[in-house]
Amino acid sequence: MIWINGQLLSPEVARIDPRDRGFTLGDGLFETLAALDGHPIDLAAHLERLARGSTVLELPLPVEATEVATAIGQVLEANGLSVGRAALRLTLSRGVGSRGLLLPLDPKPNIVITASSFPQIPSYLDAATVPIRRNEGSPLSRIKSLNYLDNVLAQQQAQALGAQEALMLNNQGRIAGFARGNLFALIGETWVTPPLADGVLDGITRAKILRNAQKSRIRVAENSLERPEIDLIRALFISNSLLGMVPIARLDGREMRMDAVLTDQIAALLID
């Protein structure tokens, strides 16, 4: 069952107008988050990011946060996912508009919420640096826009290289992140993650780690990482709201350090 604009509908009945700008122009946003026993994890943070993205796109939110929380509960229950872990997706599109690129004067946004079984989290991933670049000059690089084809194609390139994750650089040759999430690299004794200005997605898990690091003895810093510094990385993790933190076993064929001490160290920063 799918929640769409206030209604629970079966996939066969649920409908978005094919003229919707989300379909024709990628004009919209999405959020992916986890749920545990019927409760969405970090929902407030996800809705805050959705609101920030909607401000960037000048895309009004058609529902209040409380309505989203209620809708999520309905979707989880309708799909038999109220117990255990589940994956959620919120999709916000601008709706139907006249032909052309200019924003419609009277937008009628659509919001869709879906739920599915939680994906199996791998114990590790191999990564490869791909040619596709993140455009740090674009506002879309820091929000979850429906224009996600750079990431899709990057992931496809990584697969062709025999890896499960794509490492993307920006137009300046600096490390921006993975196609599916942010990165934390151990350089020396410090965990480093690139700053948002380098074309980095404002990740929910990333923000949580940075926040919790301020209260711990674990050294975490936001620093730009130039392409040559890849060779200095001792250990590497990918982070996102579904994976949490997963170690990278090999980057471009080079083995990364993997041990329980490092995993426990970084996992501790996920606990509020």
Q: What are phi and psi of 229, to 5 degrees?
A: -70, -10
Could you tell me if 59 and 134 lie in one domain?
A: no
pLDDT band (50, 70, 90) for residue 6: very high
Number of domains in the chain: 2
**CATH number assigned to the domain comprising residue 62:** 3.30.470.10
pLDDT at position 272: 72
Question: What range defines the domain where residue 73 resides?
Answer: 2-117
Residue 110, strand partner residues: 93
Give tens-digit pLDDT for 153-207: 999 999 999 999 999 999 999 999 999 999 999 999 999 999 999 999 999 999 9
End-to-end, the C-alpha distance of the chain in Å comes to 32
Q: What is the pTM of this model?
A: 0.94
pLDDT at position 260: 83
Helix (H, G, I), strand (E, B) or coil at 48: helix
Residue 255, strand partner residues: 250
Domain boundary among 85, 117, 149: 117
Could you tell me if 142 and 264 lie in one domain?
A: yes
Mean pLDDT of 83-90: 98
pLDDT band (50, 70, 90) for residue 64: confident
Could you tell me if 131 and 113 lie in one domain?
A: no
